[in-house]
Copies of this chain bind each other. A is one copy, B any other.
Amino acid sequence: MNIELKEKGYNAKQASYILASLSTQKKNEVLHKIADMLVENASVIIAENKIDVDNARSKGTSEVMLNRLALTEDTISGIAEGIKQVATLDDPVGEVINMTKRPNGLLIGKTRVPIGVIGIIFEARPNVTADAAALCLKSGNAVILRGGSEAINSNKILVSVMQKALVECGVPIGCIQLVEDTSRQTATELMQLKEYLDLLIPRGGAGLIRAVTENATVPVIETGVGNCHIYINESADIEMATNILINAKTSRPSVCNAAEKLLIDRSIAEDFLPVLANALQEKGVTLRCDSEALEIIKSGELATDEEWDREYLDYIIGVKVVSDVDEAINHINTHSTKHSEAIITNNHHNAMKFHREIDSAAVYVNASTRFTDGFEFGFGAEIGISTQKMHARGPMGLSELTTVKYIIFGDGQIR
């Protein structure tokens, strides 16, 4: 086993016990110290980040990706502001839930506690480093971060500054650690570090998520892949449908809650599909259609069978004609990634059927899928969007970074 991992795992576990007992006040003090020190050390951070950016540029990385990688005084201030925001959020730890008295006099309840040690495996964007560290700290969890090699110098300096802040506050550096070895082998070992890790959250594309779920022995929360559907039912208000579709597809096509597929009822396809297609194409969206939709739209491309399972993250949408709400539900449950789906309808029965039978984290009636987000849902933060069913589903805030344990107060009871 990799010595770096074993050592960091051990440190994290020890730190997690101390973190679990820290007062909210102390945790907020640490968060403020981290935010201040990131701003104070902005020039060093930018200098280290420049090494990553230059390396990436010399490898021919696209401008879009370089922008996501680059840190400036402004982005660092933004990160610091975000961390101070986390300090203002309610601390979920210590809440007691459902305490009841049993017939034998035992008081049995659940208390909310940190999960322990959380591993986060993520791709290039270095702002995830500080963001994830702050959310884990506020929820009382030690975190082991493992970013991509493209951002290794940025991640090293960010974690080193955060660790200095921990030390200044008298909190163990095991609270926030970075795996500096970015090899695939070490990533795999991290996924299997069951002795120390309580949870693994991958943040990134479909390839990363798949690698983690296939190799991890530590429990994983799958996040973020979104093959999201907008289904326009025959009773839809077509202006509302158009607005929602355009918003869901084009307001930010690169994110996981953007719409990737349009389903429309046969009975209205002839009349409305050309209107919708026109609106989409005006925004530069390419339409990949089933044969029936293509016959109506004409200006689209024919979709392949594999297309229905794909997340484009681009100005592309799959378009399919369906008979009714049943076919729509069946298609979505078969092909979606269980992230977010919307029905646009004015028919109450169809709305309720869709909401009841769709098997996804967020099911919308007459609203854009773009709302699936911790901030939009009012959590004030987000560590990711769970697309699986265990533990947490949908946007995860601080409370999803906690678990419960039963506490039982007795007076000598035996069974």
Contact = CB atoms under 8 A, between A and B. Distances in A.
B240 A412 contact: yes
Contact of A21 (B357, B388, B390, B404): B357
A377 B406 contact: yes
If over half of A's interface residues share one DSSP class (helix, strand or loop), that class is named, otherwise mixed; here it is mixed
A31 interface: no
A68 interface: no
A58 to B, nearest CB: 38
A393 interface: yes
Nearest to A111: B355
Contacts of A414: 243-244, 247-248, 251, 367-368, 370
B404 A357 contact: no
B405 A247 contact: no
Given A363-B405, A367-B413, A406-B362, A17 B100 contact: no
A187 B357 CA distance: 30
Given A368-B415, A390-B403, 14 more contacts: A20-B356, A20-B359, A115-B390, A240-B412, A351-B409, A361-B406, A363-B407, A365-B408, A367-B410, A367-B413, A371-B408, A377-B406, A393-B404, A393-B405
- Among A113, A243, A247, A389, the most chain B Cβ lie within 10 Å of the Cβ of A389
A409 to B, nearest CB: 5
Interface of A: 17, 20-21, 100, 102, 106, 108, 111, 113, 115-116, 194, 198-199, 213-214, 217, 219-221, 237, 240, 243-244, 247-248, 251, 333, 351, 355-368, 370-372, 376-378, 388-391, 393-394, 403-415
A165 B415 CA distance: 37
Nearest to A216: B217
The 10 A-B pairs of least Cβ separation, nearest first, read A367-B410, A247-B414, A389-B403, A370-B415, A240-B412, A391-B391, A390-B391, A362-B406, A367-B413, A366-B410
A194 B222 CA distance: 13
B116 A378 contact: no
A103 to B, nearest CB: 9
A368 B413 CA distance: 6
Contact of A390 (B219, B333, B351): B219
18 contacts: A20-B359, A21-B357, A111-B355, A199-B390, A243-B412, A251-B414, A362-B405, A363-B407, A366-B409, A366-B411, A367-B409, A370-B414, A370-B415, A371-B413, A372-B406, A376-B415, A389-B403, A393-B406
